[in-house]
Structure 1
């Protein structure tokens, strides 16, 4: 049987898919295992050469004293907030209203750690210095997500980050980076990961988003911070007997893709230009600042689904498999550029957008 989503079926059946790195199936793990000799011993309960060497590699890359591998970013970030709150004795942290901790974790921070969030900035805007300065509450930590995914992957300027960092250090507020997509923003900032992370006391990085590994994350910061995080990792059940399938795939795809982030970024800007030339379509941001952005279409979701599916069938190029409503006569979707984009012939891509624009224009004339 199908998946009861005709648009997703049409996307999967298209000869080319524009977004991502390809199917998330067992081949993601098999490819990373193919270069292994099978002689190295497994990690066990958070220790061993496999996990130690990867943690050291990531600490050096991020410019931090130490790093710890976690099975999930959700676990890593809640633990980071707990450590900083315990340090200062204030159970309040500040972050954006659409932060992952606020909208995707079933109130884990509140229920598990009894930490109260202070929501900064309007939901549709990024956090800026004046939001931080004008806070009424005392907090232990400020969390910044770069890029801010739920509003199209928007970013503050590096200069804005610098002044926020300086202010937090002056006031004794810990600054934590939700860097799930840290690698993807480096081309825009024209900075190294270490240069960005130097502004923050702690940082989390994901290995299944832009990197495309199976799962997993690292939490990096000062040695005493990461040693404490290991205790909390054990308390959370994060010390599985072995994490090597996640670590090996993370390491393999990190090496494969860390040098491609500029290519993905340029692809995102090119694709956004094509979308913005279509009737009733606008991207957020208009010019992407990473490999991801949102596409908003001024038409009902069910109608756009039919138009997109028909376009895929004619052109053989799939643009997205999922749309979300954004009001009665509007919908949107997220785009994330990876290895797939370079496999789509430019002539096919141009034909796809010519067809799409024609169908959207025809719709407005009916």
Structure 2
């Protein structure tokens, strides 16, 4: 009920071979140009209503390239982002070490950026980054009004707004606006292919033609223009075709599951904004994980592992609802998980 079910390399590549037949992929890309890569980029351009898109081997590289281009154009290395941003928490300080970026905290903790937060940061800025959703805060999202107001504030100030959209597919149901409408709020948007879409790897950067052209230069400089990425591109196209239509159902399942949990299990956010969220409870992680492992073996249902929370005596876990969970009853699955935390 949480995470992607395992699949062997042989099965995965066999499915990709069939997808090449189904999608009409009969030529290789060369250094990220042509073939399935061009098909993928053209799909994204139409889907998001942008001028251009470029495939990147990783989101880490795509976002650093975007911020570097924005900062070079603005003539300042100062960028603003949440202190829980993926770039700061999970990337070994790459933006500062590689690009000498000066990072200002737009928000701290479990809070999404707003225009009011931007107002509190004086001086020039090369870019503002908003993570949709803020993963380390339980995939927290702003309201559509808050996002629109932040976009307007950035444009009035002459600052580029960049969207970290690794989970933009899962965020779209919350906003109840199209992907193109979401992307129109920003100057650049990054999307991922291996999370909600279940692809092999890879990402894309979307925006104006000149911005994407400059980002391609940084992709080359950073060693990201590899000889063949056809497999990754085909997997992404399959994800857009097969997995994207199921995302709203996984969000609804997550919300039903969370609503069925007992009060002893705290959900962050209280009503999940996406199909991914945090859970907190009292207890010892080793004991709870022993009961979880026993429940997995007995019920043949994948449940997430728990680890110590910052608060003494509390534990936490992260739930990622994928299409694999849609055959399960959310209320019954909530009862199963609750029993591992607080057995009768």
TM-score, with structure 2 as normaliser = 0.93
Aligned counterparts of 1:158 and 1:350: Cα–Cα separation in 2: 29
Matches within 5 A, 1:233-248: 233-248=219-234
Q: Secondary structure at the match of 1:35?
A: helix
Partner in structure 2 of residue 142 of structure 1: 128
Q: 1:280 to 1:171 in 2, by over 3 A?
A: same
* 1:199 corresponds to 2:185: yes
Partner in structure 2 of residue 57 of structure 1: 43
Q: Secondary structure at the match of 2:189?
A: strand
* 1:115 corresponds to 2:101: yes
* 1:294 corresponds to 2:263: no
Do the aligned partners of 2:257 and 2:331 also contact (CA within 8 Å) in 1? no
Q: CA RMSD in A?
A: 1.9
Aligned counterparts of 2:100 and 2:270: Cα–Cα separation in 1: 39
* 1:303 corresponds to 2:287: yes
Query: Which region of structure 1 is more displaced relative to structure 2, 151-160 or 130-139?
Result: 130-139
Note the alpha carbon deviations across 1:197-234, whole angstroms, 9 max, x for none. 10000000000010000000010100000011111111
Do the aligned partners of 2:281 and 2:315 also contact (CA within 8 Å) in 1? yes
Do the aligned partners of 1:291 and 1:336 also contact (CA within 8 Å) in 2? yes
Give unmatched runs, 5+ long, in structure 2: none
Partner in structure 2 of residue 339 of structure 1: 323
Partner in structure 2 of residue 133 of structure 1: 119
Deviation at 1:360, TM superposition (A): 4.4
Aligned partner of 1:330 among 290, 301, 314 = 314
Q: 1:24 to 1:167 in 2, by over 3 A?
A: farther
Greater RCO, CA 8 A, separation 6+ = 1
Aligned counterparts of 1:353 and 1:104: Cα–Cα separation in 2: 30
Note the alpha carbon deviations across 1:52-74, whole angstroms, 9 max, x for none. 22111111111110000001000
* 1:252 corresponds to 2:238: yes
Aligned counterparts of 1:213 and 1:337: Cα–Cα separation in 2: 16
Do the aligned partners of 1:294 and 1:333 also contact (CA within 8 Å) in 2? yes
Note the alpha carbon deviations across 1:277-328, whole angstroms, 9 max, x for none. 2x52111011111111111112121222123223334433232145354333
